[in-house]
A = this chain, B = another copy of it.
């Protein structure tokens, strides 16, 4: 209950600091009997890894995962799966300056006020590096969802700073460093190069989608599926907004157009984003995230020191000029973790049986 565990039945407990000895997580509640190897997890970690293009932080971390428990002869046993990632490129230089003042837009001030102490090295616990264990756990969830139900999850960038990114096709996403669904990313490369030269940063918008989602996942009133998705996504570093389906556009819609019509062939349209009354409909889950610009920039900023006096802060070191660039695999992992958790909750209360009179599960619009 201290905030470092995600999920109620498929529980991921995350630990570590950016420049401590190691980061990792413990997954408790994974169903037994699923084939699992480190390679299954490594693939997604590599998609999130720093240092893979000039547009992300140049910290060189292999992010090699070790399975410490919960797998026997290549299969999950139903007991906790502990995943360990050693930190290797910490560069623990002098952090004295950073401990004396607060970087605007960072967690320095709020952590220090909360705990009265903070690990300042590379952002400590508040570093985006701590999304790596989430990605690792998400890879396990993804595998189960795919094997069990054919549920697949993918994400792409739909806006980079002021530049909207048109949707050309999912097949382009793995082909460029932006997770952009377009064939030609030259324009975004130039944009990022200019930004980096200016010592500034920008935000991004990410789209996350799940297909093949079972009908009936989600709980009424509070732990709705969309509520838990919003929780998971808003908890991703730098996220300032979350939409499901039509999102903020639904404000100006009419009821006569918003509600997705049902037909014997499935739903028409997907304003719902795959969720009605907090419960999945079988339509694709559609989520959109707003990611703020990185707060670690070279431009000097007005701030205060720990005594409350005025000071100026410049953030040096290796940073992502747009944290949104590496956000796609993390958002995928979070959606997978929410879905598997609700799948297990559903199975607990309702079993796996589909009601006898169910119409053919819906096709997304």
Contacts and interface: CB of A to CB of B under 8 A. Distances in A.
Given A82-B24, A218-B110, A292 B68 contact: no
22 contacts: A2-B9, A2-B29, A4-B220, A13-B80, A16-B69, A16-B80, A24-B68, A30-B349, A78-B350, A105-B272, A110-B277, A110-B279, A202-B254, A203-B250, A204-B251, A227-B234, A240-B243, A240-B248, A241-B241, A242-B242, A251-B292, A264-B304
A294 B203 CA distance: 33
A84 B297 CA distance: 36
A247 interface: yes
Contact of A15 (B26, B111, B295): B26
Given A5-B222, A115-B350, A263-B310, 17 more contacts: A3-B278, A11-B13, A33-B117, A77-B119, A78-B117, A79-B119, A104-B259, A104-B261, A113-B355, A126-B277, A227-B235, A231-B231, A253-B293, A262-B303, A263-B304, A344-B348, A351-B352
A159 B248 CA distance: 11
Nearest to A24: B82
A98 interface: no
A28 B9 contact: no
Interface stretch (A49-57, A181-189, A357-365): A357-365
A95 B351 CA distance: 28
A260 B302 CA distance: 9
Nearest to A337: B222
A349 B234 contact: no
A188 to B, nearest CB: 14
Interface string A190-214: 0000010000111111000000000
Kindly name the residue among A110, A264, A281, A308 whose own CB sees the greatest number of chain B CB atoms within 10 A: A110
Interface string A130-160: 1000000000000000000000000000010
A246 B124 contact: no
B26 A26 contact: yes
A23 interface: yes
A276 B255 CA distance: 36
Nearest to A290: B248
Nearest to A296: B255
Interface string A331-365: 00000000000001111111111111111100000
A77 to B, nearest CB: 5
Contacts of A84: 22, 68, 84
Contacts of A291: 250-251
Nearest to A258: B293
B221 A113 contact: no
A309 interface: yes
B360 A349 contact: no
Interface in A89-118: 102-107, 109-118
Nearest to A6: B222
B222 A3 contact: yes
Kindly name the residue among A105, A222, A310 whose own CB sees the greatest number of chain B CB atoms within 10 A: A222
A139 to B, nearest CB: 17
- Lowest 9 CB-CB distances: which A-B pairs, in order? A3-B219, A107-B277, A105-B259, A308-B359, A3-B223, A201-B255, A231-B231, A227-B235, A114-B216
